[in-house]
Structure 1
Amino acid sequence: MFATATRNFVEEVDHGGLLIPVSSLNDAINLLTVVVKRKRFWLWQKPKYLPTDFSLNDILTGDTSIKPGVVETDFIKFNGTYGDNIQGNLDANFVNSNVSLQGKDSSKLQSSFGSLKKEEVDVQKLLRDSKDRVLDMSHCLVQQTKEKHRQVFGIVKDRIVTTQPCSVIEEVQQGGQCGAGLSLCGPKRTKISLKENASLSKDSNVTMEIPMQTAIAYALIELEIKQDGHYELCLMSDTTGGFEVDGPARKGLFGVSEASASENNHLGEELERLSDHFQLLSALPATTRSSLLQQITKVMEDRGAVGSLQNVLDQMCLDKRPDLQDVSTTESQKQNIQAILDLLEQSGQVGSAQAATSVLTALHLLTSAMDEMTNDCLSALRMCCALTVLHTLELLVQCVSGKGEMPLSSAGLAALTDDVFEKTEHLFASSNVSLKRVEDTVKTEVKHQPGYLPLVLCIAVRGLASLAHCV
């Protein structure tokens, strides 16, 4: 809830910039706090930032502390409201019964941060004070970070803080009706039986009071660290830090090097390289694919739940056993995530020797793409998760990564009605891809902008469509 609110804030005020949203109220973000920046699994994933309990002074040698000059300025007054309304109907005919389902979900997240201020370190003074200073290379934090070559140090150079008590309010309304009889039973879940004309409803209203002087976003300066502990500040945004690597054969710095923006004309090559993962998803039993698609679609209703699912799968890819009690999302979403984990376990392929092509890796690929989407793009994709629409989106992805156009008469584009086209056009536009109908042809064009949004969209669509094959 708090993480979603801060992510919304950063996306609104500094999209594509240097600000990093604070993900937990437990994170003590002060100026000169040491933050570990960790490279993720996939090229397009943003780094993960892990605030530590140490400041720069804690890991320096010597008794003289660096006292940063601090400049405070008024930032902005921020109040935002974000909401979704979802309605759906399903009529199904079975051998001995007819089922009619109706559902309606609505959610609203209101972030009332009020007047915010910005605290900035005087970088010129920090440069002077850092001259000839040396890190304690025997410090446990330095040792543990250096051992993992995917991680580098950054220090907080500015932060955005609240100036008054404020609040984040989340309201959720869920309701559904069912005609005739239906039994719902998921793996290791409680069985639910709905009788004729039964209905379910659930409302929740959660208010989180946030005290003044709470950091909601921050920016870093990365450190380029030599073997002897001397360090330099990476002042340019395109300069990254790291630890100097031991040994004459590996000179230079090993750290998180920011990958250049993906070449849009290489979309086809990237998707082909990942095709084994999509094929693995489509080869799952139909019931497993159907259940996975259903549960993932539910998780997509909550931006924070997508991030939570991604974090759980991150841990599993590192052979760690995740604890859902530590997951910060609603109980309902925890159940959805648990259902996905149960389905993965039932697939019988988690933990196999072929980790690179396991179902876990394939699902991690899909969720990593969804987690990198903007709020607008994720919301638009969720509205396009009907089976026929996913098949159509998959064809359009082939168009994007191929020649860039195809006739509207192509098999599979029949679902591209005016209403569906409008939703699809918005989805593609939110990922820097234009979609147009020109006479009897549909044309796509990738806009040449920094970032991986077109690739992320293509991966998410291919992954979801793989689960929708022949369902």
Structure 2
Amino acid sequence: MFATATRNFVEEVDHGGLLIPVSSLNDSICLLTVVVKRKRFWCWQKPKYIPTDFHLNDILTGDTPIKPGIIETDFIKFNGTYGENIKGNVEANFTHTSVTLEGKDSSKLQSSFGSLKKEEVDVQKLLRDSKDRLLDMSHSLVQQTKEKAKQSFGIVKERIVTTQPCSVIEDVQQGAQCGGGLSACGPKTLKVSLKENGSLTKDSNVTMEIPIHTTIAYALIELEIKHDGHYVLCLMSDTNGGFEVDGPVWKRRVDVSGSSMDKSENSHLRQELERLSDHFQLLSALPVTTKSSLLQNITKVMEDRSAVSSLQSVLDQMCLGKTPALGDVATTGSQKQNIQAILDLLEQSGQAESAQAGQSTSVLTALHLITSAMDEMTNDCLAVLGLCCSLSVLPDLELLVQCVSGKGEMPLSSAGLAALLTEDVYEKTEHLFASSNVSLKKDGDKVKMEINQRPGHLPLVLCIAVRGLASLAHFE
């Protein structure tokens, strides 16, 4: 709940910027707090940031603490309400029987952070104070972080803080109605009629009171650390920190697959999707019933941003060989059931694959790939993709993925594409790609797609998610 609220806040006020949302109220973050930056499983994923209990002064040698100047300014007043409504009904009519089932879910998250303040370190003074200072390379935190190659240090240079008590309110309403009728007619005038109606509702309303001086977002300066403990502050946003390794290090700007950034965005996209094609093929080869159930449960999880993050975190643990504790997952009871259903299907498919070719880990990795891509999407993009998760639309979205990673245009007469580009579906599809920095437009008898300048990883994560979900929709 709190993590979703802070993530929404950062997406609204600093989308694509340097602010990192605080994920837990238990994280005590102040200026110069040491944060461990951990690279993720997939190269295009945002790093994971783990605040520690240590301040920069705690891991320095010497007795003289660094006391940087602090600049305080008013930031903004922020109140946001996010919600969604989902309705559905099913009717079945038989010779003497009729059944109707109607469901309605609605959720609303209201974040009332009020007036916020920004605290910043005086970086010029911090540079002067850091000159000739050394990290204690024997400190346990330094030793444990250095042992893992994908981890580095950052220190908090800026934080957004509440200035008054505030609240986060989540309101969830779930309801279902079931009606049925049974009639029997005899040869004469005898008629028997039985009707039954039932309803089930489940509401929850949770209010979280946030105390004053709570950090809801922060920004870092990364540290480049030498063997002898000397460190350099990485002042440029595109400069990454880390521990010095043996031998010279040659740095250059690379894309997610490691090749130099001198090719077109379409080419990068195509290369990445080709590199991941085995994962999509593996999902497509699963039994039809397994694919259908996986697609159904993943679509349900997509209705809740926090549930997507929870599923991704669970699969993270499993990829590391750990057994996740589903009871610790921070999401609703119904979403825990959806996640558990996915894990059960994963276990079943894993057993089947291991009996045939020992590929259970690959099934896990393929699902982890999809959920990781969805977790990197903006809230807007994820919501629209959820609306497009139907057996009729997903294969056609896959055609558009082929288009944007290829020549960038295709005829409207392509198989299935004309149906996709009906007015209602086209509007959703155009919005979906636009929210991932890809323009989609009709041009005569063709559809044209173009990746915007400096798109980041959004086009790639959308294409991965579409390809993965579409693989589960291949029922031929």
Fold equivalence (TM over 0.5): yes
Paired residue for 2:151?
A: 151
CA contact (8 A) 2:350 2:359 kept: no
Map residues 66-465 of structure 1 onto 2, 5 A cutoff. Answer: 66-91=66-91, 100-180=100-180, 197-246=197-246, 250-252=247-249, 263-266=264-267, 267-348=269-350, 358-413=362-417, 414-465=419-470
Q: 1:93 to 1:318 in 2, by over 3 A?
A: farther
Q: 1:42 to 1:128 in 2, by over 3 A?
A: same
- Amino acid of the structure 1 residue aligned with 2:282: L
SS of 2:82's equivalent? strand
The gaps in structure 1 that reach 5 residues or longer are 182-194
Q: Normalising by the residue count of structure 1, what TM-score does the alignment of the two structures yield? A: 0.91
CA contact (8 A) 1:101 1:179 kept: yes
| CA distance in 1 between partners of 2:27 and 2:352 (Å) | 32
- Amino acid of the structure 2 residue aligned with 1:444: M
Q: 1:272 to 1:327 in 2, by over 3 A?
A: same
CA contact (8 A) 1:268 1:401 kept: yes
CA contact (8 A) 1:280 1:357 kept: no
| CA distance in 2 between partners of 1:425 and 1:36 (Å) | 38
Paired residue for 1:36?
A: 36
Identity %: 80
CA contact (8 A) 1:84 1:108 kept: yes
How far did residue 42 of structure 1 move? 1.1
How far did residue 89 of structure 1 move? 3.3
Q: 1:173 to 1:346 in 2, by over 3 A?
A: same
CA contact (8 A) 2:31 2:155 kept: yes
Q: 1:392 to 1:196 in 2, by over 3 A?
A: farther
- Amino acid of the structure 1 residue aligned with 2:373: A
The range that moved more, 265-274 or 311-320, is: 265-274
| CA distance in 2 between partners of 1:56 and 1:311 (Å) | 29
CA contact (8 A) 1:227 1:244 kept: yes
How far did residue 124 of structure 1 move? 1.1
| CA distance in 2 between partners of 1:380 and 1:218 (Å) | 29
Map residues 35-54 of structure 1 onto 2, 5 A cutoff. Answer: 35-54=35-54
The structure with more radius of gyration: 2
The CA deviation string for residues 332-391 of structure 1, in whole angstroms up to 9 with x for no partner, is 222221111111111125996967961100000000110000000000101111110111
Q: 1:396 to 1:119 in 2, by over 3 A?
A: same
CA contact (8 A) 1:284 1:347 kept: yes
SS of 2:221's equivalent? strand
How far did residue 397 of structure 1 move? 1.1
CA contact (8 A) 1:240 1:257 kept: no
Q: Normalising by the residue count of structure 2, what TM-score does the alignment of the two structures yield? A: 0.90
How far did residue 176 of structure 1 move? 2.5
> What's the C-alpha RMSD, in Å, of the aligned pairs?
2.5
Paired residue for 2:185?
A: none
| CA distance in 1 between partners of 2:353 and 2:149 (Å) | 24
The CA deviation string for residues 392-426 of structure 1, in whole angstroms up to 9 with x for no partner, is 11111111112222222222222432111111111
Paired residue for 2:16?
A: 16
- Amino acid of the structure 2 residue aligned with 1:440: D
CA contact (8 A) 2:266 2:404 kept: no
SS of 2:393's equivalent? helix
How far did residue 321 of structure 1 move? 1.1
| CA distance in 2 between partners of 1:376 and 1:114 (Å) | 23
CA contact (8 A) 2:353 2:360 kept: no
Map residues 52-71 of structure 1 onto 2, 5 A cutoff. Answer: 52-71=52-71
| CA distance in 2 between partners of 1:138 and 1:351 (Å) | 46
The CA deviation string for residues 440-464 of structure 1, in whole angstroms up to 9 with x for no partner, is 3222222122411111111101111
Paired residue for 1:186?
A: none
How far did residue 105 of structure 1 move? 1.7
Q: 1:100 to 1:358 in 2, by over 3 A?
A: farther
SS of 1:460's equivalent? helix
SS of 1:457's equivalent? helix
Paired residue for 1:188?
A: none
Paired residue for 1:191?
A: none
Paired residue for 1:184?
A: none
CA contact (8 A) 2:34 2:51 kept: yes
